[in-house]
Amino acid sequence: MLVAMSGGVDSSVAAALLVEAGYDVIGCFMRLGSPGEAVGGTTLGHKGCCSITDAHDARRVAATLDIPFYALNFANEFEQIIRYFEDEYHAGRTPNPCVRCNDWLKFGRLHTYAEGIDAKWVASGHHARIDRSTGVPRLRRAADMGKDQSYVLFGAGGIPDIRPRQLDRMMLPIGDMTKDEVREMAKNMSLGVHTKPDSQEICFVPDDDYAGVLKKRNPEQFTTGKMIDTDGNVLASHEGHQNFTIGQRRRLGVAVGEPRYVVAKNPVSNTVTLGIKSDLAAAACEAREASWHVPPSEDWMPCLAQIRAHGEAIPARVRALPDQRIDVRFDTPHEALASGQAVVCYEGDLVLCGGWIDQVERVQ
């Protein structure tokens, strides 16, 4: 049993539970970089989840549990995540590097490593559950809805012969616990991380300054452009469309009376379009790289669709399209959808499918 140990309380308790259950546990830490360290030309933030300090915490927990512990240097692979992040922003999309990190590293590269050491299972401290009651593993929301992370794990699905299915080898030991219960268990087990705060930001984005990271890597990509209204009238100039996100209201540098929001960005013309709140309403979206957790259907299936990791899931319909795509139509308009985001569809609290939004149909 390989357990991904981040040095946080969740993965520490996950490892402890598996040891308690009698599994032959090996702790594994993914070394992606340290706060202040340059990875691929980008300086990592101070609240990341995979620093040297975190590695020390994970190692101490492993020693307390008396299990083998290995730190794997994935810094070079992590550069792929950073490149994805910058490429998406420069293309005018809104990326989610945490989901990609789970897909490519935690349940990609780490699973490959597990195979190399003949580990049958890979476990982590994610707040989600795997339902094996029907014989076919399904990803389910966590018992603690406020901490649910099933959204960021949707890529671990996949129907055999379509995409590799990682759920068959995954364990999520704390999925039935609340965060308070996890911390209390860590305290009772004398795990020193029981009071350690959760990670709050993308590990390579200091102080949530997304544009600052992009400017340091490729300053030439930032050029002066026009800020326009929905009729094409020029309202002001800006210093690069990468400084704005869909749905943004504050720090626009424009005063026109009624509140304005970023409703569109065009990276080719380097224009940012401002509109009123109703201009953000979306009726539907299409997504690529779909991962299905049930057999795909070309017929409409009722679902609950979620756009952000901790956003509300709203009633919708989903169907499979050719070329590993999905079509999602909302029962009522959804605000502030942006290409590049992940849309995850649920059947109750079970993940149905998910994909990466590349087309948004606004309400006319």
DSSP 42-99: EE--SS-SSSHHHHHHHHHHHHHHT--EEEEE-HHHHHHHHHHHHHHHHTT----HHH
Asked if residue 192 and residue 60 are part of one domain, the reply reads yes
Asked if residue 335 and residue 275 are part of one domain, the reply reads no
Tokens of 246: 């869909």
Q: Is the pLDDT score of 49 beyond 70? A: no
Residue of 101, 285, 345, 353 with catalytic role = 101
User: Rounded to whole angstroms, how far apart are CA atoms 151 and 233?
Assistant: 39
User: What pLDDT score does 256 carry?
Assistant: 77
Please state the pTM of the whole predicted model.
0.90
Helix axes 52-65, 9-20, angle to 10 degrees: 20
Residue 295 Cα to chain centre, angstroms: 24
Whether 203 is catalytic is yes
Q: What is the CATH number of the domain that holds 327?
A: 2.40.30.10
**Residue 210's pLDDT band (cuts 50, 70, 90):** confident
Tokens of 179: 């965060």
Q: What is the mean pLDDT of residues 225-234?
A: 95
Residue of 203, 285, 345, 353 with catalytic role = 203
Inside any domain, residue 269: yes
Asked if residue 73 and residue 11 are part of one domain, the reply reads yes
> Which pLDDT tens digit goes with each residue over 288-340?
999 999 999 999 999 999 999 888 999 999 999 999 999 999 999 998 799 99
User: What pLDDT score does 331 carry?
Assistant: 97
User: What pLDDT score does 227 carry?
Assistant: 95
Inside any domain, residue 218: no
Asked if residue 263 and residue 178 are part of one domain, the reply reads no
Nearest to 128 by CA among 117, 110, 115, 143: 143
Asked if residue 346 and residue 238 are part of one domain, the reply reads no
User: What pLDDT score does 199 carry?
Assistant: 74
User: What pLDDT score does 146 carry?
Assistant: 93
Q: Is the pLDDT score of 43 beyond 70? A: no
User: Rounded to whole angstroms, how far apart are CA atoms 69 and 26?
Assistant: 6
**Residue 208's pLDDT band (cuts 50, 70, 90):** confident
Inside any domain, residue 168: no
User: What pLDDT score does 40 carry?
Assistant: 47
The residue from 260, 279, 298 where one domain ends is 279
> Which pLDDT tens digit goes with each residue over 102-130?
888 888 888 889 999 999 999 999 999 99
**Element (DSSP H or E) covering residue 11:** helix 9-20
Q: Is the pLDDT score of 350 beyond 80? A: yes
**Residue 39's pLDDT band (cuts 50, 70, 90):** very low
Comparison of pLDDT for 240 and 164, the residue scoring more:
240
Q: What is the CATH number of the domain that holds 201?
A: 3.40.50.620
Whether 101 is catalytic is yes
Kind of pairing between the strands at 261-266 and 234-238: unpaired
Count of structural domains within the chain = 3
Inside any domain, residue 57: yes
